[in-house]
């Protein structure tokens, strides 16, 4: 990290980066950073973050166009989103980092890792959960962005209470956030060879109809470190059914 980096790095985290203080008995060994899936607010990951905090301080990032960042402009690309998240906080002061991202959040976390490593901030491991590896992005169809298409997508993905989707006000907020994220993903154009130095541990649901196990294995192409894969029972949002197990996996590395 250069002197200029230290001069420009903020000294405190903004309020939209949510901290759940660690409850570990020993001295801090870094921090865990959680990256939500497309359309989700940080609050969706409070339960997982609370479980992760048994091992270390845990931060949940908030993307623009939702919750306390509702009025902020949408991000142009996934990479731009990751840059903004990195520049928002003094990550070097809480490193080394473990990054946990679910679905699109896995890709945001990967880009965050790239930016962090470029700035000399240590990333110990990326936990990529149910997300597409960068090498397959070019061959993926564009994600939907109209209101009706986004609502249909949410219903297909699962993980959202159907009664909430039927609420017009809630549905409008959710589609606004998801549209912003999907547009950013549609503009994401990584090199198939892009790589990070940190280890990558991929997690997935055995019954996930959105991303196959053989696709998850392709994340191995994107690390110069160690690679591992763990599967759990469940679909695309299996993570909500295995909070304690997943937290134990991550915290075993803290």
Q: Provide the annotated active-site residues.
A: 103, 236
CA distance 22 to 98: 13
CA distance 53 to 225: 25
CA distance 105 to 112: 10
Cα–Cα distances in angstroms (integers) from residue 71 to residues 43, 62, 64, 67, 120, in the given order: 17, 13, 8, 9, 32
Burial of residue 8 (CB within 10 Å: 0-12, 13-18, 19+) is: exposed
CA 244 to chain centre: 18
- CA distance from start to end of the chain: 23
Locate 162 and state its tokens.
């159907």
List the beta strands (DSSP E) in 77-141.
97-102, 123-129
10 Å Cβ neighbour count for 3? 7
Give which of 228, 177, 214, 207 is closest to 43, Cα–Cα: 177
């Amino acid at each position: 990290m250069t002197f200029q980096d230290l001069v420009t790095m903020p000294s405190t985290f903004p309020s939209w980066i949510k901290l759940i203080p660690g409850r570990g008995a020993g001295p801090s060994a870094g921090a865990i950073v959680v990256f939500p899936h497309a359309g989700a607010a940080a609050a969706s990951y409070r339960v997982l973050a609370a479980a992760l905090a048994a091992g270390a301080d845990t931060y949940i990032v908030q993307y623009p166009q939702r919750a306390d960042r509702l009025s902020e402009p949408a991000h142009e690309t996934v990479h731009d989103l990751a840059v903004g998240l990195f520049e928002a906080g003094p990550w070097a002061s809480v490193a080394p980092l473990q990054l946990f991202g679910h679905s699109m959040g896995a890709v945001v976390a990967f880009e965050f890792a790239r930016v962090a490593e470029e700035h000399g901030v240590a990333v110990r491991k990326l936990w990529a959960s149910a997300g597409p590896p960068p090498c397959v992005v070019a061959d993926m169809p564009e994600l939907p962005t109209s209101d009706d298409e986004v609502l249909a997508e949410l219903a297909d993905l699962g993980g959202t209470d159907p009664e909430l989707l039927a609420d017009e006000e809630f549905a409008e907020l959710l589609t606004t956030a998801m549209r912003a994220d999907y547009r950013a993903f549609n503009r994401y154009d990584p090199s198939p060879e892009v790589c990070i130095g940190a280890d990558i541990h991929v997690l997935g649901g055995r019954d996930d109809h959105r991303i196959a196990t053989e696709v998850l294995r392709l994340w191995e192409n994107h690390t110069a470190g160690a690679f591992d894969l763990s599967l759990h029972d469940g679909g695309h949002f299996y993570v909500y059914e295995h909070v304690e197990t997943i937290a134990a996996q991550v915290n075993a590395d803290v």
